[in-house]
Amino acid sequence: MDPQLTPQIIAWVREQGRGVHVRRLYDCSAEEIRVLALMSAGKTNKQIAQQLKISLGSLSTRLRALYKRLDISRRAEATRYFVEWRKENH
């Protein structure tokens, strides 16, 4: 492989993967989008649970399901994809 093409190929692969996650957000419920919006606003899980009037355990269960749906494992990934999705939709 041409060493000069390597950075371009890596960037393309990353961009393609990112698009998949952003597209998956279109399948999220309004409640899941609200959770993502609160996360991206820097709210803690405790604050999110209080705002949604649910237990912290219920929120944790919802987050695990959301992460699985989006095929991610970190809060930062969820926030990044939500911010990208919001840019496309607003």
The answer to whether the predicted template modeling score (pTM) of the entire model surpasses 0.95 is: no
Q: Where are the domains of the chain?
A: 27-89
Measured CA distances, 7 to 13, 16, 22 (Å): 10, 14, 23
| Model pLDDT for residues 24-42, shown as the tens digit of each residue | 777 888 899 999 999 999 9
Could you tell me the CA-to-CA distances from 2 to 9, 13, 14, 58 in Å, in that order? 10, 16, 19, 50
What fold does the segment set 27-89 form as a domain?
Arc Repressor Mutant, subunit A (1.10.10)
- List pLDDT tens digits, range 55-76: 999 999 999 999 998 888 999 9
